[in-house]
C-alpha cells in the first residue's frame, strides 16, 4: 500500500497561497500595517520574524539522526556521486538557470541562486517515504548535508554572488555583501536551531526516552515549521500590497527555472545512481536528496542579508509553493521508473 502525505503537507501549496492572499490583503486594506511590522525591528532585524525563522529551522533539524552518518562511508560510490551532483552540479545548474531566465530581474536571480546552494533536509524525508526509498540512506545523507550547510553555506553564497556573477559578466548589481554578513546570518538562522536541535534531541532521549521523543516530541514540534513559514509569508506579503498586480507573473517567472531544476536533478541523480549499481531504494533516496532544496534556510538568509521586503526573500517563498506539486509528480515518476528499470 502506497504511503500518502499527511493533511498539512498534502495541501501545503494551498496554505502558502492562502498566506500570500492574507498578507496581500493586509497590506492593501490596512495601509499602516508596514509601519506596525517595522516597529518591531532592532537595527535591520525584525525581532518577531527572526524568532519565527529560527523556529522554522528547528523541527527538521531535531529529526536528523547523526548516528547514521558513519554508515554512509560504507557506500563510497553512492556518497561520492551524491556529493558531486548535490554540491557541485546542483548549485552551478541553479546559477545557470537563474542567469538565463532571470537576468532582467536581479533580485529574483540572486534569490534563486541562494535557493540552489543547499539541498533539502526536511521534506526530502516525506518524498523518500512516499516513493518507498531507502530510509537509512536518506537519514545519512541528511546528516551529512546539514553539517556541510552549517560550515560551507556562507562560503558558497559569497562565491556564487560575489565571484561567479561578475565572472559571467553580470555586473552592476551592487550587492555589497561580505562573507561576514552571510556567515553571521547563517550562524543565527541555521547555527542556533542546529545547536538547540542537537541538545534537545540528546537530552530528551536520555531523560525521557526514545519512545517519548519519537511519539510525543516530534509530532508536537513538527507543525512549527509550517506555522513559522506561513507567518513569514503573511508578514512578507503584507509589505507587498501595492504590488498585487505584478505578483502572479513574478511567481511564474521564478517557477519556470525551479521546475526545470527539479526535473534535471532528479533524472540525473537517478540514472547516475543506477549506472553505479544502486538499487531502486538507494536511487530514489539519492534523487530526492539532490532535487529538493532547503527553502527554509534560503528564506532565512535572504531576509537576514537582503531584508524582508527584498526580491530575494520573495523568490525563496515561491520555492516551496512550486516544490510540493513538482515533487509529488516526481514521486509518481519514480514508480514508473521502478517498473521499467528495476522489474519490481
Tens digit of each residue's pLDDT (9 = 90 or more) over 304-314: 888 888 889 88
Q: Mean pLDDT over residues 116-127, rounded? A: 80
Residue 243 scores a pLDDT above 70: no
DSSP state of 222: T
Whether residue 87 has pLDDT greater than 90: yes
> Does 1 map to a domain?
no
**Residue 2 falls within a domain, yes or no?**
no
| Res 244 pLDDT > 60 | no
**Residue 97 grid coordinates:** 538557470
Residue 31 lies inside a defined structural domain of this protein: yes
Average pLDDT over residues 144-173: 84
**Residue 215 within a domain:** yes
**Number of domains observed in the structure of the chain:** 1
Most confident of 21-35, 147-161, 202-216: 202-216
* Residue-by-residue DSSP string for 78-117: HHHHHHIIIIIIHHHHHHHHHHHHSTT-HHHHHHHHHHTT
The residue ranking higher by pLDDT, 243 or 262, is 262
Q: For residue 42, what are the β-bridge partners?
A: 45
The C-alpha cell that represents 3 in the structure block: 504511503
Q: For residue 178, which phi and psi values (nearest 5 degrees)?
A: -110, 160
Give the tens place of pLDDT for each residue, 252-275.
999 999 999 999 999 999 999 999
pLDDT at position 33: 82
- Give the pLDDT score at 51: 85
- Summarize the confidence of residues 95-105 as an average pLDDT: 94
- pLDDT band of 343, cuts 50, 70, 90: low
User: Which of the four pLDDT bands, split at 50, 70 and 90, describes residue 138?
Assistant: confident
Question: The domain that contains 219 carries what CATH number?
Answer: 1.20.1530.20
Domain for residue 3, yes or no? Answer: no
Give the structural domain span for 269.
8-338
Does residue 343 belong to any structural domain of this protein? no
Average pLDDT over residues 129-153: 83
Q: What is the pLDDT of residue 5?
A: 58
The residues that bridge with 17 in the sheet, in sequence order, are none
User: Each residue of 198-242: pLDDT tens digit?
Assistant: 899 999 999 999 999 999 999 999 888 888 888 888 887 787 666
Q: Which residues pair with 46 in a beta bridge?
A: 41
CB atoms within 10 A of CB 65: 12
Asked whether residue 25 is domain-assigned, the answer is yes
Q: Looking at mean pLDDT, say which of 3-12, 56-65, 328-337 comes out highest.
A: 328-337
Under DSSP, the state recorded for 190 is I
344 belongs to a structural domain: no
Distance (Å, whole) CA 225 – CA 123: 11
Beta bridge partners of 45: 42
pLDDT given for residue 131 in this prediction:
87
Q: Quote the CA–CA distance of 179 and 158 in Å, as a whole number.
A: 6
Please state, as a whole number, how many other Cβ atoms lie within 10 Å of the Cβ of residue 273: 24
Residue 326 pLDDT greater than 70, yes or no: yes
Q: What is the mean pLDDT of residues 66-93?
A: 87
Reported as a pLDDT band with limits 50, 70 and 90, residue 323 is confident
Amino acid at each position: 500500500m502506497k504511503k500518502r502525505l499527511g493533511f498539512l503537507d498534502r495541501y501545503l501549496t494551498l496554505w502558502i497561497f492562502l498566506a500570500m492572499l492574507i498578507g496581500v490583503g493586509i497590506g492593501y486594506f490596512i495601509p499602516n500595517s508596514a509601519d506596525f511590522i517595522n516597529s518591531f525591528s532592532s537595527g535591520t532585524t525584525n525581532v518577531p520574524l527572526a524568532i519565527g525563522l529560527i523556529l522554522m529551522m528547528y523541527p527538521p533539524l531535531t529529526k536528523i539522526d547523526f548516528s547514521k552518518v558513519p554508515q554512509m562511508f560504507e557506500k563510497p560510490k553512492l556518497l561520492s556521486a551524491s556529493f558531486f551532483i548535490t554540491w557541485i552540479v546542483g548549485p552551478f545548474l541553479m546559477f545557470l538557470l537563474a542567469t538565463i531566465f532571470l537576468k532582467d530581474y536581479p533580485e529574483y536571480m540572486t534569490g534563486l541562486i541562494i535557493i540552489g546552494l543547499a539541498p533539502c533536509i526536511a521534506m526530502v524525508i516525506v518524498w523518500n517515504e512516499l516513493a518507498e526509498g531507502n530510509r537509512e540512506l536518506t537519514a545519512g545523507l541528511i546528516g551529512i548535508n546539514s553539517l556541510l550547510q552549517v560550515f560551507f553555506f556562507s562560503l558558497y553564497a559569497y562565491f556564487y554572488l560575489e565571484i561567479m556573477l561578475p565572472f559571467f559578466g553580470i555586473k552592476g548589481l551592487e550587492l555589497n555583501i561580505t562573507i561576514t554578513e552571510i556567515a553571521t546570518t547563517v550562524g543565527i538562522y541555521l547555527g542556533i536551531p542546529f545547536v538547540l536541535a542537537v541538545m534537545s534531541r540528546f537530552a530528551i532521549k536520555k531523560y525521557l526516552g526514545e519512545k517519548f521523543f519519537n511519539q510525543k516530541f516530534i509530532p508536537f514540534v513538527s507543525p512549527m515549521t509550517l506555522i513559522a513559514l506561513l507567518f513569514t509569508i503573511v508578514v512578507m506579503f503584507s509589505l507587498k500590497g501595492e504590488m498585487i498586480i505584478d505578483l502572479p507573473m513574478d511567481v511564474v517567472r521564478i517557477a519556470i527555472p525551479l521546475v526545470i531544476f527539479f526535473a534535471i536533478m532528479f533524472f540525473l541523480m537517478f540514472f547516475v545512481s543506477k549506472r553505479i549499481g544502486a538499487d531502486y531504494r538507494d536511487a530514489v533516496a539519492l534523487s530526492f536528496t539532490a532535487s529538493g532544496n532547503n527553502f527554509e534556510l534560503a528564506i532565512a538568509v535572504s531576509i537576514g542579508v537582503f531584508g524582508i521586503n527584498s526580491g530575494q526573500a520573495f523568490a525563496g517563498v515561491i520555492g516551496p509553493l512550486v516544490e510540493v506539486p513538482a515533487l509529488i509528480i516526481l514521486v509518481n515518476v519514480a514508480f514508473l521508473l521502478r517498473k521499467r528499470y528495476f522489474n519490481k
